[in-house]
Amino acid sequence: MSENLYEKVGGEGAIAKVVDYFYNELVLKDDTVNHFFQQTDMEKQQEHQAKFISFALGGPNQYSGKSMEKAHEGMNLKPEHFQAIVNHLHDALAHFGVSEADIDTALTKVASLRDDILYK
């Protein structure tokens, strides 16, 4: 049986490191999107994001948060905001040695949520 992407990147521990880097080194330092997180409990946000990314990579479905549409309601996110987050996720995964092919697989899953996130 072949490894799924979740196992390939190192499972829960590796995902937690990616999420920490994603927010603290990329997202929160980017003026394009950091204002969306000013009133956010970042510990809780990182927990939700780790569960979501784990699921998106084929790991266990532990995500029990709001739907993507509900979670982004009232934010009126634009394509440039979505793309900034996608770029940061790419860079965070690459930073931890995930191959471009595997990053593309993960980002394709993220892209499928675009319509549930934008202009809500």
Domain ranges of the chain: 9-117
Grade residue 2 by pLDDT with cuts at 50, 70 and 90: low
35: Cβ contacts below 8 Å, ≥ 6 apart? none
Q: What's 69's DSSP letter?
A: H
Looking at CATH, the fold of the domain delimited by 9-117 is given as: Globin-like (1.10.490)
**Any binding-site annotation on 48?**
yes
Query: What pLDDT sits at residue 107?
Result: 93
Decide: 92 and 44 in contact? Cβ < 8 Å. Answer: no
Structure tokens at 39: 């009133």
Indicate the residue type of 32: T
Once rounded to an integer, what is the mean pLDDT over residues 16-22?
96
39: Cβ contacts below 8 Å, ≥ 6 apart? none
Q: Which pTM value belongs to this model?
A: 0.90
